[in-house]
Amino acid sequence: MSENASPTPVAPARPPSGFPLAHARYRNYVLFALTSVFMFVGGVGLLLGVRALGQGPEAWAQYLDALGHPAVLALSLAVFGFSVYFTLRWMWIGRKIMVGRVGPVPGPPIPMAGLGLGGIALCFATGIGVLLLLGGVL
């Protein structure tokens, strides 16, 4: 570049109007990021339960009584909802991955949407089975 030439003028960066909640894509990103807060809260609740379990029957009974409080129940419902949203969104990414070919190996015979839905169904069935096993039903 010569000494007399000036660089091309560029407008300063600015966020889109209504950022971050104006567009559905931005809202989904913000909601997906918000799931980390609720998963952290759920993890802390589980650690408090393990701690109470280790401190004896009285501490465990107090922990179970605290879990019955309406505010804690509402928070647990929110944690569950955000965890389900996170799981669905994370598994749905798999259907967006392009199928490539390596050499003469053909692509899969099932459409990618079918593979994605099959994976989601398998994860949910496994999760429900584990919950039933842990709950003592199976």
> Please, what are the domains in the chain?
24-96 (1.20.1300.10)
* 98 and 44 Cβ atoms separated by less than 8 Å: no
- Summary mean pLDDT of the chain: 82
Give the contacts of 15 (CB within 8 A, at least 6 positions apart): none
Position 78 scores a pLDDT of 94
pLDDT over 80 at 83, yes or no: yes
pLDDT over 70 at 108, yes or no: no
Position 38 scores a pLDDT of 93
d(Cα 66, Cα 77) in Å, to the nearest integer? 15
d(Cα 131, Cα 129) in Å, to the nearest integer? 5
pLDDT over 60 at 1, yes or no: no
pLDDT over 60 at 138, yes or no: no
d(Cα 37, Cα 28) in Å, to the nearest integer? 15
User: If pLDDT is split at 50, 70 and 90, which confidence band does 60 have?
Assistant: very high
* More confident site: 96 or 92: 92
pLDDT over 60 at 117, yes or no: yes
Return phi, psi of residue 110, to 5°. Answer: -90, 140
Nearest one of 74, 92, 83, 94 to 31, comparing CA atoms: 83
The end-to-end CA distance of the chain, in Å, is 74
Identify the residue whose tokens are 């099932």. Answer: 110
